[in-house]
Structure 1
Amino acid sequence: MRSIPSIKENYTRIKWQKLVIAALLIGFLASLLAVFLKHSTEHYEAVFFAKAASNNILLALFPFVGLSAIYFLRQYVFKKKENKGIKEVFESTASKKNLPAYKIPSHFFNGFLTVIFGGSTGIEVSTVVASATIGSMAHKKENFFRKYKTELICAGVAAGITALFNSPLAGMLFAYEVISRKISKVMVVTMVIAVGIAYAFVLMMEEQPLFVVTIRAWHWYAVPYFIVLGIIAGLHSVYLTKCVLFFKNRFSKIAVQYHKILIGAVVLSGTLFVFPQLYGDGYHAIKESILSADTAVLTLSLAATCIGLLIMKPILTSITLSAGGDGGVFAPSIFIGAFLGLFVALFVNTFFNAGVIPLNFMVIGMAAMLSASIHAPFTALFLVCGLVNDYSLLLPILVVCLVSKYTAQKVYPFTVYTYTTAK
Structure 2
Amino acid sequence: MIISSIVGFIAGLVAVVIKNLTHLIQAILEGELIYNYHIAFYFIFPVIGLAFVLFIIKWVYRKEVESGIPTTLFAISRQKGILSKFQAYASLITAPITVGFGGSVGLEAPAVVTGASLSSNLSRKLKMNQASRTLLIGCAAAGTMSSIFQAPIAAIIFAIEIFSLDLTLVSMIPLLLASISAILTTYFFYGSDVILHFTLTDEFEVSEVPFYILLGIISSLCSIYFSRIYFRMAKFFKKFGSRWKRLLIGGFGLGVLTFTFPPLYGEGYDVINNLLEENYRDALGSNNLFSAYLENIWIVIALLVSLAVLKVVATSLTLGAGGVGGIFAPVLFMGSAMGHCIALIINKMEIFRNDVSVSNFTLVGMAGLMAGIMHAPLTAIFLIAELTRGYELFIPLMITAAISYMVTSQIQKHSVYTLDLASRGDLITHNKDQAVLTLLEIGEVIETDFIPLHINMTLGEIIREGVIKSKRSIFPVVDEEHNLKGILLLDDLRPIMFERQLYDELKVSEIMQAPPEVIQFKSDGMHEIMRKFEETAAWNLPVVEDGRYKGFVSKSKLLTAYRDILVEVTL
Greater C-alpha Rg: 2
1:245-264 pair list within 5 angstroms:
245-264=231-250
Matched, 1:132 2:123: no
Kept after mapping to 1: 8 A contact 2:301/2:344 = no
Is the 1:53–1:59 Cα contact (8 Å) retained in structure 2? Answer: no
Is residue 2:324 matched to residue 1:326? yes
* 1:293–1:342 CA contact under 8 A, matched in 2: no
User: Any residues of structure 2 matched to 1:307-322 within 5 Å, and which?
Assistant: 307-322=305-320
1:258 Cα deviation (Å)?
0.6
1:149-298 matched pairs, under 5 angstroms: 149-205=133-189, 206-215=191-200, 216-292=202-278
TM-score (norm 1): 0.90
Residues 46, 243 of structure 1: alpha-carbon distance in 2 compared, 3 angstrom cutoff: farther
> In 1, distance between residues paired with 2:312 and 2:327?
9
Identify the match of residue 348 of structure 1 among 326, 346, 349.
346
Q: Could you give the per-residue CA deviations for residues 164-194 of structure 1, whole angstroms, max 9, x where no partner exists?
A: 1101111111111011243344422321211
C-alpha contact 1:131 1:157 (8 A) present in aligned 2: yes
Q: Cα–Cα, structure 1 residues 237 and 42, in superposed 2: closer, same or farther, change >3 Å?
A: farther
Distance in 1 between residues matched to 2:256 and 2:92, nearest whole Å? 27
Q: Which amino acid aligns with 2:142?
A: A
Deviation readout 1:63-86 (Å, 9 max, x if unpaired)? 111111111111222222331511
The reply to whether residue 104 of structure 1 matches residue 85 of structure 2 is: no
Q: Give the structure with the higher percent strand.
A: 2
> Aligned partners of 2:20 and 2:399: how far apart in 1?
33
What is the letter of the counterpart of residue 7 of structure 2? I
Matching of residues 352-363 of structure 1 within 5 Å:
352-354=350-352, 355-363=355-363
Letter in 2 for 1:40: L
Q: SS at the partner of 1:347?
A: helix
Residue of structure 1 equivalent to 2:285: none
| Larger displacement relative to structure 2 (197-206 or 300-309) | 197-206
The two structures, once aligned, show a CA RMSD in angstroms of 2.0
- Please point out which of 46, 49, 63 is paired with 2:46: 63
- The aligned length equals 404
Question: Which blocks of at least 5 consecutive residues in structure 2 are unaligned?
Answer: 282-293, 424-571
> CA-to-partner distance for each residue in 1:246-300, whole Å, 9 max, x for gaps?
0110100101101100111111111111100000111122222222269998722
C-alpha distance 298-150 of structure 1, shift in aligned 2 (>3 A): farther
- 1:30 equivalent in structure 2: 11
Distance in 1 (alpha carbons) for counterparts of 2:57 and 2:335 = 32
Whether contact under 8 Å (2:135, 2:165) holds in the other structure is no
| Preserved contact between residue 23 and residue 191 of structure 1 (Cα < 8 Å) | yes
Partner of 1:54: 36
Could you tell me which amino acid in structure 1 is paired with residue 347 of structure 2?
Answer: N
* In structure 1, C-alpha distance between the alignment counterparts of 2:276 and 2:55, rounded to whole Å: 38
How far 1:24 moved relative to its partner? 1.9
TM alignment of 1:68-107, pairs within 5 A: 68-83=51-66, 85-96=68-79, 98-107=82-91
Which position in structure 2 is the counterpart of 1:371? 371
Supply the distance in 1 between the matched residues of 2:401 and 2:70 (Cα, whole angstroms).
Answer: 24
Do 1:297 and 1:346's aligned partners in 2 also have CA atoms closer than 8 Å? no
Taking structure 1 as reference, are residues 297 and 60 closer, same or farther at Cα in structure 2, changes over 3 Å only? closer
Q: 2:472 maps to what in 1?
A: none
**C-alpha deviation, 1:47, in angstroms:** 4.6
Identity among equivalent positions (%) equals 29
Deviating more after overlay: 254-263 vs 40-49: 40-49
Local SS of the residue matching 2:390: coil
TM-superposed deviation, 1:146: 4.2
Distance in 1 between residues matched to 2:42 and 2:185, nearest whole Å: 36
Of stretches 355-364 and 398-407 in structure 1, the one that deviates more from structure 2 is 398-407
- Change beyond 3 A, Cα 1:69–1:251: same
Q: Distance in 2 between matches of 1:196 and 1:303?
A: 40
Task: Report the Cα distance in structure 1 between the residues aligned to 2:216 and 2:279, rounded to whole angstroms.
Answer: 19
1:326-376 Cα offsets, whole Å, 9 max, x none, are: 122211110011111111001111214322010111111111111211000
Q: In the alignment, what sits opposite 2:126?
A: 142
Q: Does 1:413 align with 2:386?
A: no
Once the two structures are TM-superposed, the CA of residue 135 in structure 1 deviates from its matched residue by 1.7
> In the TM superposition, what is the alpha-carbon distance from 1:395 to its structure 2 partner?
2.2
Query: Equivalents in 2 of 1:186, 1:326: separation in Å?
Result: 34
SS of alignment partner, residue 151 of structure 1 = helix
- How far is the alpha carbon of 1:140 from its aligned partner? 0.1
Tell me the distance in 2 between the aligned counterparts of 1:96 and 1:409: 28
Code of the residue aligned with 2:256 in structure 1: it is G
Query: Could you tell me how far apart the structure 1 residues matched to 2:87 and 2:35 are?
Result: 33
Contact in 1 for aligned 2:333/2:366 (Cα 8 Å): yes
Residue 96 of structure 1 aligns with an amino acid whose one-letter code is: Q
**Greater alpha carbon shift after TM alignment, 201-210 vs 116-125:** 201-210
CA contact under 8 A between 1:209 and 1:386: conserved in structure 2? no
Q: CA deviation at 1:43?
A: 4.3
Distance 1:412 1:144 in 2: 36
Q: Secondary structure at the match of 1:325?
A: coil
Match of 2:490 in 1: none
Rate the CA distance shift 1:293–1:64 in 2: closer, same or farther, 3 A. Answer: closer
Contact 1:62–1:117 (Cα < 8 Å) also in 2 = yes
Report the Cα distance in structure 1 between the residues aligned to 2:36 and 2:280, rounded to whole angstroms: 29
Please give the per-residue CA displacement for 1:113-143, whole angstroms capped at 9, x wherever unaligned.
1111111111011111111112211210122
- The one-letter code of the counterpart of 2:372 is A
Contact 2:160/2:167 (8 A) holds in 1: yes
What amino acid is the match of 2:348? Answer: T
Measure how far apart 1:204 and its partner are. Answer: 3.4
Of residues 318-327 and 186-195 in structure 1, the stretch that sits farther from structure 2 once superposed is 186-195
**Cα distance in 2, alignment partners of residues 341 and 308 from structure 1:** 13
Looking at structure 2, the residues matched to 108 and 337 of structure 1 have their Cα atoms a distance apart, in angstroms, of 27
| Corresponding residue for residue 512 of structure 2 | none
Shift of 1:224: 0.7
Q: Give the C-alpha shift of residue 46 in structure 1.
A: 4.9
